[in-house]
Structure 1
Amino acid sequence: MTLSPSRHAVVQTLKIIWTAFALYYELWTFYRHASSCTWPIIDQQTSSKVEHVLLVADPQILDMNSYPDRHPALQWLSQVVVDLNLRKNWRAALRTRPDKTIFLGDMMDNGRMSMGEQEYDAYYRRFRRVFKGSDADTVYYIPGNHDIGLGAPSAYSRSAQADERYVSHFGNPNKVVHTAGHALVMIDAPSLVDEDRQRVARGQTFTDWPASPNSTASFVKGLARQLEDTVPRILLTHIPLHRPPASDCGPLRERGTIRAGQGFGYENTIGADASRLLLDTIRPSFIFSGDDHDYCAYSHRYSGRTAEEITVKSLSMAMGIRQPGYQLLSLAAPSAPSATSHATTHCLLPDQLRIYLAIYIPLLLISLAAVVLINALEQRRSRLRPRPRIKTFRPLTRGVDLDMIRSPNWQQLHHREDEQDVMTDESYVELASPSRLSDEKARGALPAPASSRARRSRPLQRVSGPLERAIGTMPRALQAFASLLKRTLQSVLHSPRPSRSRGFVREVLYDVRDVAVFPITIFCIITWWMFTDS
């Protein structure tokens, strides 16, 4: 059934709208957010090269243990949606072309759990597949409590092999990276918290604490001898440093604040004594942390100095925030001891939940209402439209022997082919005259009426257009694909309908199919491109 002009206009308009929305909200809006956030400019003019560092916090790649109360199918769907969102966010962040990238912990949601080596390797490969596209030599990681655990070893909180697995896949948890005249000090905060708990339980100070050689406390104490006093230091820790209760986080935070607290497998802030050890020993000019998932800015005062701490937003849509984000850090070698040598800014990414709930769902409801309404109007118009009167042809039978007409010879003559396509009225009258019929009856046969003469069918010649000629010039390997693509596009653009009529529900479903095929195709292509393009 051919679509009416009004129904065709509605279907085509919805196609265009959905195609535009799919392109914008699945691809372009991520690039627009990234393009609007540029590298900060250092206030102090410097002739040295500026180094750009991208800071990413808490991506927490999900697995089947992330939401144990959900149905396995829903768990799998959650992984697909979150992985796709992380991939889009990561590609948008990479458009800034950083010189170095630092992950502030919690790369995987359940890297701390007890699992087989093959299962962990597959989990790690998912992380690498989502965050591919950056040079491995310029990417650094620090552990989070979801990577190696925190607290007493258990199947969920901290598996016995978590530390060893982390080192083999992500590298040393404590390290110093020198770049642009700065020392980037990266520490294993969860291990420091565990060590601090043991110290408090024994009633000792960090001065008296016999720290093991590979512990975070030993690493921090050794920095005083390794780093020069003139080198600015930036501390990077997964867990934020201690601060007074109800400390303000600034206007860029979505809600609440960071409060001290602990639980099974986590601690919101590093303890007061451990935080003082970090500040007094490392003497950082700036601090970056993660773990909280939301943005927070707080200034620490120590030994007559001030160090601002920025808690970086999570890059994931599944971490309880509406807008994920990342942090940009510009570094330059200081021209003088008191000169400003760094600048930082936060960048926000699209609100994926808002896109689903406030854009796609309302547009889906409006589209369904439009399709149902236009089909209802079409059916109403078809019922009210007067039906045309059909004129029936009655053959001339005056003076004709009806027994002869009913004879088998009549059917045979009715299908007789003749070279003539049109019979004149005089010929028909002569054919139907009683005398002619009597002669034919005597011979036992009747001529076929002119109205039943079938025209000879002539084979149709295929018209070759420019597209067909272009396909014909392609290599044979591409001709089949090009022909299939042509037929698919023709079926989508022209919305073919079978000639027989259908019910109201089927007509609505066919219109929904025609509208949905384009955005679904675009979504699949973008998803495929996101995970195949490096």
Structure 2
Amino acid sequence: MGLSARRHARNSSRLLSRTLIVNIWRLTAIILLIWGEFGVYFWNLSSCKWPTTVAQSSGEKPTHVLLVADAQLEHPIAYRGEVSWSDFFHRLTYELYLRRSWHVTMRLKPNTVFFLGDMLLSGKDMRSEHEYQQYVEAFQRTFPLDSDVSAYYIPGNNDVGMGVTRPLSKHIRKSFSLLFGPFNQQVVIHNHTFVLLDAPGLVDEDYTRAAQRIPYNKWSSLPGGPVEFIKTVNTGDSPVVLLSHIPLWRKDTATCGPHREKDNIHKGVGHGYQNTLQKHTSDFLIENLQPSIIFSGDNRDYCEHLHKVVSGRVPEDVALVPEITIKSFSPSRHIRRPGFQLVSLNNPDPSARFHQSVAHDLCLLPDQNFIYRRLYAGFAYFTTLAMALFNMRRRRELAPRALLTPLSSHTSLPGMPSPHPSLVTAAWTSYPPTSPTSPRGTLPGLIRTPNATSGTTFRAASRPGTPLLSPIPYQHEETEDDSLYPPQYASARPRLHEEETWSPEHLDHLGENENGSIMSPFNLAPTAPHKRRPWSWTWSFVLKGRRRRITVNAPTFSWDAFKDLIALLGDGVSADIKFKQRGLIKSTVMDVLSVAWVFALTWAIIAWWSFR
């Protein structure tokens, strides 16, 4: 293998060294992790904008309302058994998803926030008021609000229980009312009346009423219950926006629109839940409230449904009232993309029967399964594949390297010609005075000629010599002990009966430079070409009676410096030896783990920073 080929192989091996490849994958892992933990949230919500109402005028500023359903925050108090590492990791990533989603959502700057129930995943399982208070405090830390943002909460079946799961003691409902607010509320925002309904309590009262076979118009409502609240609501002329945790009744064949991910909403009752309100209960709500629009939760998926409303104010006036079932804010196995609802309010038009002063739009959050199961798992798969291919290529390159390794240019064996005879016979070629690889019996600073059998040895100077100062044969051992001519400065000395003369014949050996002038024997190096000075900016000013100057030079790029930096990332001979000892499979596993620990450490730091 020639010198240029060996240099090319060495440079290519440095450019594709193990250290460089591993560091590239580590940097890629950090960038991918930052994107998966932060960037994907901002990217998904970058297209979310507040909707514009039909009644919005050019000079009117709308009120922005954020609707959040089924936050379902988990809490360690709800799990009193032993927790495995998989459960711990699931709960950790679950809460991280809620925190980051909420942080990005609050960048929309809403004026009011409504939580449509199920703020807590296991609020009904709390055994004391103190546990419930700790749970609510954890919710407030996960979903912080600015001081200028007003928030309202309605109960869900997981917050206070429902049916057979409703606690026998009253501490749960008491704790909810103290920490979250009243169960039933009437709030006026921008000339719109928001009716906040206790849907779990309405279901319990409905079962009590149905068991006695009493219709709503003859039912004596329970004191402080939702039925009594509905009968006392005074909406006036303002549009009514009904907020309920449980959706209203509809046929099983009713569709939910294009944003639905799973099947339609069907009637169903189970342990502590009910998919929809009963038909008579839904008719009772619509007839008494005459809502302009209804928002509900609990179902986890998005659904749009139109309810027929017969107005009591205008006979035979039938209209369609939309109900929007909001997506769950928390990740769930039922849906791929969680979300929330943006609502804009403007002053209503009193001349219209059903006002067009409310506009709403759906915003989708990132897919958590895509982040962890596709993005991160896919990166781990490609990292393993890339390291395996790299080590296979590395094994093929290391196999013939031992056969192609040349001998050192300073080593010559007795009876064997020098590997570079042209360099040895050149009189002006210099070699180190000492060489650890010199053969036994050779004095330091001496070089043997190609004809090793002749026994003739020349002394090499430590600095380049001219043709006139070529070394002479070594004649006697006493010359080496001469203090005036140490070996490292040995050169040809003129004889006593001869004088140094300059002959024009030497011009044949000197040559001419590019300009045609004869090069001096004492200055063989040609003149360096003139380099253009890089761009610079200079500013002069006077400070304390003295003139100052600031100069800023343009950054320069040096290819040699870049190659030196790449050389620092090289593995060296020891890495090749370790690679041969470990083998292909073990080396691949070690390379993958060297990338994995950086990924895991970065993820742990980001998670710790998110919980500050």
Q: How would you bin the TM-score normalised by the shorter chain? A: 0.7 to 0.9
> Are 1:306 and 2:320 an aligned pair?
yes
Q: How does 1:27-176 map to 2 (within 5 A)?
A: 27-46=38-57, 47-63=59-75, 72-135=84-147, 138-153=150-165, 160-176=170-186
Tell me the secondary structure at the aligned position of residue 362 of structure 2: strand
Query: Residues 358, 243 of structure 1: CA spacing in aligned structure 2 closer, same or farther, 3 A cutoff?
Result: same
Corresponding position of 1:227: 235
How far does the alpha carbon of each residue in 1:409-448 deviate from its partner, in whole angstroms, 9 at most, with x for none? xxxxxxxxxxxx9xxx989967999xxxxxxxxxxxxxxx
- Counterparts of 1:97 and 1:39 in 2: how far apart (Å)? 10
User: Scaled by the length of structure 1, what TM-score is found?
Assistant: 0.75
> 1:109: how far off?
0.7
Tell me which protein shows more helix as a share of its residues: 1
Tell me the secondary structure at the aligned position of residue 198 of structure 1: helix
> 1:233: how far off?
0.6
User: Scaled by the length of structure 2, what TM-score is found?
Assistant: 0.66
**Greater alpha carbon shift after TM alignment, 493-502 vs 518-527:** 493-502
Query: Residues 528, 25 of structure 1: CA spacing in aligned structure 2 closer, same or farther, 3 A cutoff?
Result: same
Query: Residues 245, 153 of structure 1: CA spacing in aligned structure 2 closer, same or farther, 3 A cutoff?
Result: closer
**Contact 1:174–1:187 (8 Å) recurs in 2:** yes
Query: Residues 65, 73 of structure 1: CA spacing in aligned structure 2 closer, same or farther, 3 A cutoff?
Result: farther
> 1:67: how far off?
8.4
**Contact 1:285–1:307 (8 Å) recurs in 2:** yes
Tell me the secondary structure at the aligned position of residue 374 of structure 1: helix
- Counterparts of 1:342 and 1:135 in 2: how far apart (Å)? 25
Corresponding position of 2:296: 289
- Counterparts of 1:106 and 1:428 in 2: how far apart (Å)? 104
How far does the alpha carbon of each residue in 1:304-346 deviate from its partner, in whole angstroms, 9 at most, with x for none? 3321000000011135210011000001111333142110011
> 1:253: how far off?
0.2
Query: Residues 191, 396 of structure 1: CA spacing in aligned structure 2 closer, same or farther, 3 A cutoff?
Result: same
Q: How does 1:501-512 map to 2 (within 5 A)?
A: 501=575, 502=578, 503-504=582-583, 507-508=587-588, 511-512=591-592
Task: Give 2:393's match in structure 1, choosing from 373, 377, 380.
Answer: 377
> Are 1:260 and 2:267 an aligned pair?
yes
> 1:176: how far off?
1.1
> 1:251: how far off?
1.1
> Are 1:240 and 2:247 an aligned pair?
yes
Query: Residues 113, 214 of structure 1: CA spacing in aligned structure 2 closer, same or farther, 3 A cutoff?
Result: same
> 1:74: how far off?
2.0
> Are 1:530 and 2:530 an aligned pair?
no
- Counterparts of 1:175 and 1:255 in 2: how far apart (Å)? 32
Corresponding position of 1:354: 370
Over the matched positions of the two proteins, sequence identity in percent amounts to 32
> 1:235: how far off?
0.2
Query: Residues 136, 150 of structure 1: CA spacing in aligned structure 2 closer, same or farther, 3 A cutoff?
Result: farther
- Counterparts of 2:229 and 2:210 in 1: how far apart (Å)? 19
Tell me the secondary structure at the aligned position of residue 306 of structure 1: strand
How far does the alpha carbon of each residue in 1:214-246 deviate from its partner, in whole angstroms, 9 at most, with x for none? 1111111111xx321x11110000000111222
**Contact 1:158–1:265 (8 Å) recurs in 2:** no
Tell me the secondary structure at the aligned position of residue 120 of structure 1: helix
**Contact 1:495–1:514 (8 Å) recurs in 2:** no
- Counterparts of 1:255 and 1:380 in 2: how far apart (Å)? 53
Structure 2 alignment gaps of length 5 or more: 1-10, 311-317, 412-436, 443-461, 463-472, 482-486, 488-566
- Higher-Rg member (1/2): 2
Give aligned pairs, total: 449
- Counterparts of 2:343 and 2:476 in 1: how far apart (Å)? 97
- Counterparts of 2:37 and 2:215 in 1: how far apart (Å)? 54
**Contact 1:64–1:76 (8 Å) recurs in 2:** no
Query: Residues 431, 515 of structure 1: CA spacing in aligned structure 2 closer, same or farther, 3 A cutoff?
Result: farther
Q: How does 1:479-518 map to 2 (within 5 A)?
A: 500-501=574-575, 502=578, 503-504=582-583, 507-508=587-588, 511-516=591-596
Query: Residues 427, 340 of structure 1: CA spacing in aligned structure 2 closer, same or farther, 3 A cutoff?
Result: farther
**Contact 1:57–1:290 (8 Å) recurs in 2:** yes
- Counterparts of 1:76 and 1:24 in 2: how far apart (Å)? 23
> 1:78: how far off?
1.3
- Counterparts of 2:606 and 2:99 in 1: how far apart (Å)? 11
- Counterparts of 1:187 and 1:516 in 2: how far apart (Å)? 50
Query: Residues 138, 496 of structure 1: CA spacing in aligned structure 2 closer, same or farther, 3 A cutoff?
Result: farther
Tell me the secondary structure at the aligned position of residue 17 of structure 2: helix
Tell me the secondary structure at the aligned position of residue 40 of structure 1: coil
> 1:161: how far off?
2.3
Corresponding position of 1:20: 31
- Counterparts of 2:479 and 2:83 in 1: how far apart (Å)? 81
Structure 1 alignment gaps of length 5 or more: 398-420, 434-449, 451-492
Corresponding position of 1:336: 350
Corresponding position of 1:195: 205
| Backbone CA RMSD of aligned residues | 3.5
**Greater alpha carbon shift after TM alignment, 513-522 vs 245-254:** 513-522
**Contact 1:300–1:308 (8 Å) recurs in 2:** yes
**Contact 1:27–1:526 (8 Å) recurs in 2:** no
Tell me the secondary structure at the aligned position of residue 194 of structure 2: strand
How far does the alpha carbon of each residue in 1:34-79 deviate from its partner, in whole angstroms, 9 at most, with x for none? 1201011011233543110000110111245878999532222111
Tell me the secondary structure at the aligned position of residue 119 of structure 2: coil
- Counterparts of 1:208 and 1:512 in 2: how far apart (Å)? 73
Tell me the secondary structure at the aligned position of residue 124 of structure 2: coil
**Contact 1:299–1:309 (8 Å) recurs in 2:** yes
- Counterparts of 2:69 and 2:402 in 1: how far apart (Å)? 69
Query: Residues 518, 74 of structure 1: CA spacing in aligned structure 2 closer, same or farther, 3 A cutoff?
Result: closer
- Counterparts of 2:328 and 2:476 in 1: how far apart (Å)? 90
- Counterparts of 1:29 and 1:88 in 2: how far apart (Å)? 10
> Are 1:324 and 2:335 an aligned pair?
no
- Counterparts of 1:15 and 1:236 in 2: how far apart (Å)? 49
